[in-house]
Amino acid sequence: MGLRIAVIGVSYLGAVHAVGLATWGHQVIGLDIDQAKVDSLNKGRAPIAEPGLELALRRQLDSGRLRFTTDYADITDFADVHFIAVGTPAAADGSADLSQVQAVVDRLAPALRRSCLIVGKSTVPVGSAAELQRRVTQLAPVGAMAEVAWNPEFLREGQALADTLAPDRLVWGVASETASARLRQVYARPIADGVPVIETDLATAEIVKVAANAFLATKISFINALSQLCQATGADVVKVANALGRDPRIGRAFLDAGPGFGGGCLPKDIAALAKRADQLGAPRLAELVRSVQAINQSQRDWIGQLALVCLGGSAPGKKVAVLGASFKPGTDDTRDSPALAVATSLAESGAEVRVYDPAARVDRSGLTQTDTLEQALLDADLVCHLTDWPVFAQLDPARLTGPRNKILLDARLKLDRPTWEEAGWTVIQPGRPWPTGPGR
């Protein structure tokens, strides 16, 4: 028998989580203050482009296990568990803005008249859950019988539904056996499938999430910094990464050089970690994280400079085709996209920049989005591969007749260089040996 669960905040994280919970047999109500978003979800339209999500959403709506509302009265007496999945955007000083989380607690807690579990999924600075528990106890008529737990998410955009239904681990922080037992009911299906559970205290659960993001960002920035050294010495960053990846202490994942990381999570989460580390007296961690941020920004700048070199050192009057706008393939998310950062720098240098992406929409001054790849490539002096969508890897370079000059900057290092060179292209891959001539 499934539980009755509310998911508060149904954008990217919350919508996927609500669908996953309903798939496991729970009765689920998703709540959001955005009426248009709720109406769209109730009609089976997902708020984001995510493989498999819309089909799964419609199935769960049809099953009767899932619906969406804007009314807190629909969830306060209904739910045994309330998940908080609202955003925690970056504040002006880099810290996490918890106003949405606090607004949920201030609205929900005064209406709680029976015992329940409030579970945070939003990424928050360490110490936030304990403070929210004090706030809930103060505001809720049932006091401490409304208990707070923290259950961070580890979703990858483009694979979010799969990561929800088959996670590689479940992490939660609790303060009682009652909360632990309730979460084991929530996640009974994946636990039965053998997914490991890491159960800990509130503070540790909060740190696990930001630590995971900071470590991944560090690996990316390390290999990107190394790519600049490889470029300067004629070494091959891909072969270096492959050799490093054979070391079981290191692993190959997240050692792909490129224009850096972006999106709505890693940049803001590591900025918030640095700020919190400063506040709590861990300056060395803050220093490390800020170095990772600086390398990430410098990588974008460096890729932009390489593009200018490919244009002969001058951008005015030149046409550049940019392949990709989203921050990664498999999503339409352009938040803090490295691809758009590089494209914008070229436009600001005077180039005419046309962008093609299979899913993402571009609304940025100086950039022209095309409906087709062919339109982007027409008369291009340079082609920049900035988001590694599979469709770009499947291109036949011998059939690309639109560009004026066959010069490719493969900033993602994912296109087959020999194939492109055999078709007469000059291929520049950052961190790999520079070509000696056109097509060679």
Report the catalytic residues.
265
Cα distances (Å, whole numbers) of residue 287 to 98, 214, 270, 276, 398: 23, 12, 11, 12, 48
- Amino acid occupying residue 75: I
Q: What is the dihedral of CA 398, 400, 405, 411, to 10 degrees?
A: -90
- The phi, psi pair for 300, rounded to 5°, reads -60, -45
Q: Could you tell me where the beta strands, DSSP code E, fall in 115-169?
A: 116-120, 146-150
The span from the CA of 112 to the CA of 266, in Å, is 34
As a whole number of Å, the CA-based R_g of the chain is 24
- Amino acid occupying residue 222: F
The span from the CA of 151 to the CA of 191, in Å, is 15
- Amino acid occupying residue 206: E
Q: Is 427 left (phi over 0), alpha (psi -120 to 50) or beta?
A: beta
Tally Cβ neighbours within 10 Å of residue 402: 15
Residue 342 CA neighbour count, 13 Å, CB half: 37
The span from the CA of 47 to the CA of 146, in Å, is 30
Total number of residues shown for the chain = 440
The span from the CA of 111 to the CA of 46, in Å, is 29
- The phi, psi pair for 209, rounded to 5°, reads -65, -50
CA angle 50, 220, 91 (to 5 degrees): 70
The span from the CA of 344 to the CA of 413, in Å, is 21
Cα distances (Å, whole numbers) of residue 84 to 9, 224, 278, 293: 7, 35, 27, 28
The span from the CA of 259 to the CA of 33, in Å, is 36
